[in-house]
């Protein structure tokens, strides 16, 4: 029965063999199994994939309704102070702006009396998209193609909708190589620095109003500086009249009247000579005795004076 002293274990039975590295064939088999699973199953709900299908920034496929349910549940749990489920997708699925709807083209492969099996194909080559095929989709339009078709056709416009895209926005679907994964991680970091999401839309919380207000303030400052540099011609302002410090209204009125009369006399003095000076001179040409003055009187001899 064992453990009764009748059997003695040998060293070979006691020492475990060292773990061996997986061979290339075994690695490919594991990757093929994973590809078959994720090409047919939603990574979030583990339900079969069905259109509409969306993808995140790392090329993972989800059912759109599963993403909506995940966002609603996460928002409710956040309000209640609970930890959101699905921590692996927490940073990648914060809103619908973090996913792009992948527009697969359908092709009827087999038709039977019971059901119709549909597969996704490349609209350019007609090749089926699935495990073992390097497929990509474009951001922001979401059309899916075989990677070789995009490389051979070249250009920066979608082959179906003619929408412009950047070479960095060609997203591999379910990438397997570490090089592709690292490129996608770098793309995520660059988009975060630009306050953009995977769909190239503004990230939630980045306010456009602040930028607009900043631009308006900069433009206003620039205009004020340019206006201040220009020479402006303005009329000289009249000196303000001195305000009276007399609080009594009657006294202030009387003072104003006296000042007005004094100003009027000053004006007359400037316009004409003084009345006292005018009285020294005659205003008539004749030498009438009745109208003589000190300056025009002269020397006269009386008539009855004797010689």
- The answer, yes or no, to whether residue 51 has pLDDT greater than 60, is yes
Count the Cβ atoms, other than its own, within 10 Å of residue 26: 11
Average pLDDT over residues 145-153: 91
> How much is the pLDDT for 55?
95
> How much is the pLDDT for 302?
60
- The answer, yes or no, to whether residue 139 has pLDDT greater than 60, is yes
> How much is the pLDDT for 232?
46
What confidence tier does 288 reach under pLDDT thresholds 50, 70, 90?
very low
User: Which residues, in sequence order, are CB contacts of 280 under 8 Å at separation 6+?
Assistant: 293, 294, 295
Residue 8 vs residue 224, higher pLDDT: 8
Q: What percent of the chain has pLDDT over 70?
A: 62
User: 28-41 pLDDT, tens per residue?
Assistant: 788 888 888 999 99
What confidence tier does 233 reach under pLDDT thresholds 50, 70, 90?
very low
Dig out the tokens for 110 from the structure: 């087999």
What confidence tier does 286 reach under pLDDT thresholds 50, 70, 90?
very low
Question: What are the backbone angles phi and psi of residue 74, rounded to the nearest 5°?
Answer: -65, -40
Q: Locate tokens 């690292």: which residue?
A: 182
Residue 126 vs residue 284, higher pLDDT: 126
What confidence tier does 272 reach under pLDDT thresholds 50, 70, 90?
low
User: 64-87 pLDDT, tens per residue?
Assistant: 999 999 988 888 877 665 555 555
Sheet containing 144-146: which strands, arranged edge to edge? 144-146, 135-138, 170-172
Average pLDDT over residues 184-199: 92
Residue 147 vs residue 236, higher pLDDT: 147
- Per-position b or e across 82-96, b if 16+ CB within 10 A of its CB: eebeeeebeebbeeb
- The answer, yes or no, to whether residue 238 has pLDDT greater than 80, is no
Residue 44 vs residue 117, higher pLDDT: 44
> How much is the pLDDT for 17?
65
Handedness of CA 85, 91, 92, 93 (dihedral sign): positive
Residue 78 vs residue 42, higher pLDDT: 42
Question: What are the backbone angles phi and psi of residue 228, rounded to the nearest 5°?
Answer: -70, -25
Q: What is the 3-state secondary structure (H, E, C) of 17-62?
A: CCCCCCCHHHHHHHHHHHHHHHHHECCCCCCECCCCEEECCCCCEE
Domains of the chain (ranges, CATH numbers)? 23-193 (3.30.40.10)
Average pLDDT over residues 259-265: 83
Residue 269 vs residue 257, higher pLDDT: 257
Dig out the tokens for 169 from the structure: 């926005």
Is 146:135 a contact under the CB 8 Å cutoff?
Answer: yes
> How much is the pLDDT for 121?
92
> How much is the pLDDT for 153?
84
């Amino acid at each position: 029965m064992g453990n009764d002293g009748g059997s003695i274990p040998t060293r070979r039975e006691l020492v475990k063999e060292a773990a061996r590295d997986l061979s290339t064939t075994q690695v490919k088999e594991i990757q093929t199994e994973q590809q078959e699973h994720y090409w047919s199953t939603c990574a979030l709900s583990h339900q079969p994939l069905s259109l509409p299908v969306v993808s995140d920034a790392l090329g993972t496929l989800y059912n759109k309704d599963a993403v909506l349910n995940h966002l609603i549940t996460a928002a409710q749990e956040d309000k209640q102070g609970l930890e959101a489920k699905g921590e692996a997708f927490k940073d990648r699925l914060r809103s619908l702006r973090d996913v792009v709807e992948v527009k697969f083209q359908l092709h009827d492969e087999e038709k039977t009396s019971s059901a119709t099996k549909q597969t996704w194909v490349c609209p350019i080559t007609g090749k089926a998209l699935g495990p073992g095929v390097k497929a990509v989709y474009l951001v922001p339009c979401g059309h899916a193609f075989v990677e070789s078709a995009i490389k051979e056709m070249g250009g920066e416009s979608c082959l179906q909708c003619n929408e412009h895209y950047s070479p960095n926005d060609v997203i591999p679907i379910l990438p397997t190589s570490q090089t592709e994964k690292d490129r996608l991680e770098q793309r995520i970091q660059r988009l975060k620095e630009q306050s953009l999401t995977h769909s190239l839309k503004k990230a939630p919380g980045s306010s456009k109003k602040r930028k607009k207000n900043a631009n308006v303030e900069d433009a206003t400052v620039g205009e004020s500086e340019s206006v201040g540099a220009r020479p402006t011609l303005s009329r000289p302002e009249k000196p303000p009249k001195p305000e009276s410090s007399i609080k009594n209204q009657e006294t202030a009125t009387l003072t104003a009247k006296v000042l007005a009369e004094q100003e009027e006399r000053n004006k007359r003095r400037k316009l004409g000579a003084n009345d006292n000076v005018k009285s020294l001179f005659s205003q008539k040409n004749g030498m009438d005795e009745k109208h003589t003055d000190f300056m025009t009187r002269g020397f006269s001899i009386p008539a009855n004076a004797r010689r």
